[in-house]
Amino acid sequence: MNDEERARAIEGHPDRALDLLRRMIRVRRLEERCVELYSATKIRGFLHVYIGEEAVAAGVMSVLGPDDAVVATYREHGHALLRGVSAESIMAEMFGRAEGCCRGRGGSMHLFDAATRFYGGNAIVAGGLPLAVGLALADKLAGRDRVTACFFGEGAIAEGEFHESMNLAALWDLPVLFCCENNLYAMGTALERSESQTDLALKAAAYEIPSWAVDGMDAIAVEDAARRAAEAMRAGGGPHFLELRTYRFRAHSMFDPERYRDKVEVEHWMERDPIRLLQGALEASGRLDADALASIEREVAAEMDAAVAFAEAGTPEPVEELTRFVTSERAGATP
């Protein structure tokens, strides 16, 4: 999408564009807090931030309805937030508090919330794909008109689960929106070092799944592609695949010395920061001024302050409860 096309899209739907900006700012500010709190050892364990990739979750999530389902990876704080899991419940989970969305037992990589149909938070690379296929199969068998959006990194493409999932989704015509977040690296491994074919849309095409490559730094382009795919799927068009070309601005996780990519490359991508890109386009179209932006930032800061305060005041999971929920507590379930 060039500048003119983006300006036209903003003119067509100014509220949608502002909403996308707001969504991305919420995700960015949430994760900046997480990084600070990690350094202050309030958050422990692994932490993988999505900073730089926000346009992907913001764009896709805005075309889903409340009955649709979402499956994500361990880089999922933003997906959970935009799906409707509260910042308080996410932050409490990060802190390992009983008030967190998984009672503090999941942490950063395993956010989960059945009420919003947010099915994780999956730490196993490609592990979410068969889950998404199963959810979509259940919906199809029950005659429910729903879409399951499945987010995964390009590293998942090297896994057998990716190929099995694509095949079954296509074979059974299941409404899965495969959203490949291609940020060019799987930990320290560049895509061209692990794949003979780096055009990922071709992989989906091999399974007869309609697939498009999308500028993943442009929230409007992502939303537009996701909307077209979701509409086709709701009309019975079967699975669709989006390759969202994006970049993570930070290290893979908090323990990554980043020896595999040079600063010039990172700076080059940072020039296309998805938040600045959309903010600039909105300003140029006269739909956003400094006051309006400051007011979004103020509201988001208040939301994140409240989330941190909630997590701080939360209760650590009681030690005597640690083995609870290892097995089901439903009546008749074997312990």
Ligand X SMILES: Cc1ncc(C[n+]2csc(CCOP(=O)(O)OP(=O)(O)O)c2C)c(N)n1
Per CB under 5 A, residues contacting Mg ion are 153-154, 183, 186
- By CB under 6 A, residue 75 contacts ligand X: yes
Give min distance, CB of 253 to ligand X, in A.
8
Bridge partners of 153? 181
**Is 13 buried (19+), middle (13-18) or exposed (0-12) by CB count in 10 A?**
middle
Q: Which x/- pattern over 250-269 shows residues binding ligand X (rule: CB under 6 A)?
A: --x-----------------
Residue nearest to Mg ion (CB): 153
Binding partner selected for residue 322 from Mg ion, ligand X, none, CB under the kind-specific 5 to 8 Å limit:
none
Nearer to ligand X, 95 or 185 (CB): 185
Could you give the CA distance from residue 171 to residue 209 in angstroms, rounded to a whole number? 10
Q: How far is the CB of 190 from ligand X (least distance, A)?
A: 10
The CA distances from residue 70 to 133, 150, 190, 245, 301, in Å, are 11, 6, 27, 20, 26
108 binding ligand X? (CB under 6 A): no
Buried b (16+ CB within 10 A) or exposed e, 263-298: eeeeeebeebbbbebbbebbeebebbeeeebeebee
d(CA 295, CA 290): 9
Q: Where are the alpha helices (DSSP H) in the chain?
A: 3-12, 14-39, 54-61, 77-83, 87-94, 128-141, 160-171, 191-194, 200-205, 219-234, 263-270, 274-284, 290-312
CB 168 → Mg ion: shortest distance, Å? 23
The residues pairing with 212 across neighbouring beta strands, listed in sequence order, are: 242
Residue 123 binds which entry of ligand X, Mg ion, none, with Cβ cut-offs from 5 to 8 Å by kind? ligand X
Span 126-155, contacts to ligand X by CB under 6 A:
153-155
Residue 187 interacts with which of ligand X, Mg ion, none, CB < 5 to 8 Å by class: ligand X
Q: Which is nearer to Mg ion, 157 or 281 (CB)?
A: 157
CB of 186 to ligand X, least distance (A): 3
CA gap 117, 133 in Å, rounded: 14
Closest distance to ligand X from the beta carbon of 267 (Å): 19
Contacting ligand X (CB under 6 A), which of 141, 171, 187, 309?
Answer: 187
Number of alpha carbons in the 13 Å side-chain half-sphere of residue 285:
22
Counting contacts by CB under 6 A, is residue 183 touching ligand X? yes
In the chain, the N- to C-terminal Cα span, in Å, equals 55
* 124 lies in the site for ligand X, by CB under 6 A: yes
**Site for ligand X (CB under 6 A): how many residues?**
15
Contact region for ligand X (CB under 6 A) — 31-39, 79-87, 180-188, 235-243?
Answer: 180-188
Give yes or no for residue 186 binding ligand X (CB under 6 A).
Answer: yes
254 close to 240: Cβ distance less than 8 angstroms: no
Closest distance to ligand X from the beta carbon of 143 (Å): 33
AA letter at 259: R
Is there binding between residue 156 and ligand X (CB under 6 A)? Answer: yes
Judging by DSSP bridges, how do beta strands 148-153 and 176-182 pair with one another?
A: parallel
Out of 1, 18, 98, 123, which residue is the one contacting ligand X (CB under 6 A)?
123
C-beta of 129 vs 288, nearer to ligand X: 129
Q: How far is the CB of 122 from ligand X (least distance, A)?
A: 9
What is the binding site for ligand X (CB under 6 A)?
Answer: 73, 75, 123-125, 153-156, 181, 183, 185-187, 252
